[in-house]
Amino acid sequence: MSETPRRARQVATLSLVFGVVLLAGAATGAWGDPNEPPRRPSADTAPVLRTGVGVATDPAGSALSEQQAEHLLGANGDRWGAYYSAQEYAEFSQGLDGRYLGVGLSVGRGEDGVTEVSRVAPAGPAATAGIVPGDRLLRIGEDQADHLPVTEVVARLRGRDGERRVGSEVTLAVQRGDGEVRELRLRRVLLDSQQVTAEHLETGVLRIAVRAFTSGVAEQVRAALRAPHTGVVLDLRGNSGGLVEEAAGTAGIFLDGGPIGSYQERGENRELTAPPGGDQRTPLVVLVDGGTMSAAELLTGALQDRSRAVVVGSRTFGKGTVQQPSRLADGAVLELTVGRYYTPAGRSPDGTGLAPDVQAGATEDAGALALRVLAGLGTRA
């Protein structure tokens, strides 16, 4: 199996696996060492994992080589399953705790296929090099960025095997508007994720951008909302997913109880519900694009199906499957797909993504469109 699909799967499968098992594991005491993958939700679960295509024996504790693990994924047609070395898994887990290795650059892709910088971490290598949101990412190394899946772009920014270390370099070509193409060489550093940023606009609107659902994000969103505001734009563009518990918790801030979604685990349906008391009065727009993935799609679908928000932007990425990790004998981790998740209306975004209520044109400023839509919803009394 080639390196490219392997790395793409590894990045994308982060989006649901930890959160789904977290919800089940919290009730069964399955959590222990944070560097260990979550165990199965209950001890009497049959040792079988059902993928979208076939059935594979649970490999927990098995002595599988990387080649054997990749063969198992290929034999079951598991698009989102992934193999991680022990070091890779520890690094990815660290990212969910709020730190990650990279250059401080987030990207998104519109329907025109252009790969654009959606966010630059303050004081990170990308910011120091003068990259700003809206710049087009043309190349990573020798490869055209627009020809790579978004997940592969992310994987290359963070580093392939052998490159995933502080001080390793990545070469980029970027362009601002019709200006000259700049060739840059950036060194990877360990960054604080800073997944939530809030911006108070003159109109009384609060724009909250969430780039991934790492630990504590729901509470950060709740804290941002304590500031006075008349309406909210929840910006999920470029959000690669993360912990389902955090995405569900964020949905609950805007919903007064009721369903958030559901997911299948070994053929059993499990419901996600919001606690009572959420804010259902403040006008809300959710801003999405082709980089809005997985747990972020779950949140988008919940607010859309419950008629709580107007979704603006472009079609989301389309990852709606659930993975579960198993620790192998040598400390490596193999994740296999065990089911799909669904919005409250029973929709699965897997493979198709979610369509916005208001589509942004290819050359339209989606952020400005979101503000116009929000203005049309009125303001909170």
**Residue 311: CATH number of its domain:** 3.90.226.10
Same domain, 167 and 211: no
Question: What whole-number distance in Å separates Cα of residue 331 and Cα of residue 363?
Answer: 48
Same domain, 286 and 171: no
Pull the structure tokens for residue 284: 């809300």
Residue 125 near residue 174, CB atoms below 8 Å: no
Last residue of some domain: 192, 217, 240?
Answer: 192
The verdict on residue 339 lying in a domain is no
Same domain, 208 and 186: no
Same domain, 89 and 182: no
Pull the structure tokens for residue 301: 């679908």
Same domain, 261 and 361: yes
User: What local confidence, expressed as pLDDT, does residue 16 receive?
Assistant: 40
User: What local confidence, expressed as pLDDT, does residue 15 receive?
Assistant: 37
Same domain, 71 and 27: yes
Same domain, 52 and 165: no
Last residue of some domain: 80, 96, 112?
Answer: 96
Same domain, 123 and 261: no
Same domain, 186 and 201: no
User: What local confidence, expressed as pLDDT, does residue 162 receive?
Assistant: 67
Chunked mean pLDDT (size 10), the chain, 381 residues: 42 39 29 34 25 47 81 81 78 62 84 84 91 94 89 82 80 94 93 84 92 89 95 95 91 97 81 95 97 94 98 95 85 86 95 96 94 86 48
Same domain, 23 and 68: yes
Three-class secondary structure assignment of 54-117? CEEECCCCCCCCHHHHHHHHHHCCCCCCEEECHHHHHHHHHHHCCEEEECCEEEEECCCCCEEE
Instruction: State which residues form the domain around 141.
Output: 103-192
User: What local confidence, expressed as pLDDT, does residue 361 receive?
Assistant: 93
The verdict on residue 175 lying in a domain is yes
Last residue of some domain: 96, 130, 154?
Answer: 96
Burial of 184 (0-12, 13-18, 19+ CB in 10 A): middle
Which residues 6+ apart lie within 8 Å of 171 measured at CB?
A: 139, 140, 141, 183, 184, 185, 186
Residue 12 near residue 242, CB atoms below 8 Å: no
Question: What whole-number distance in Å separates Cα of residue 173 and Cα of residue 272?
Answer: 43
CATH number of the domain residue 140 falls in? 2.30.42.10
The verdict on residue 87 lying in a domain is yes
The verdict on residue 330 lying in a domain is no
The verdict on residue 303 lying in a domain is yes
The verdict on residue 326 lying in a domain is no
Which residues 6+ apart lie within 8 Å of 313 measured at CB?
A: 237, 287, 288, 289, 292, 356, 358, 359, 360, 366, 369, 370
Q: Residue written as tokens 């994740």?
A: 335
Pull the structure tokens for residue 105: 């650059």
Neighbours of 25 (CB within 10 A): 18
Same domain, 223 and 313: yes
The pTM is what? 0.67
β-pairing, 333-342 vs 321-327, is antiparallel
The verdict on residue 156 lying in a domain is yes
Number of separate domains in the chain: 3
The verdict on residue 334 lying in a domain is no
Q: How many residues does the chain have?
A: 381
User: What local confidence, expressed as pLDDT, does residue 99 receive?
Assistant: 65
Same domain, 185 and 216: no
Q: Residue written as tokens 């080639």?
A: 2
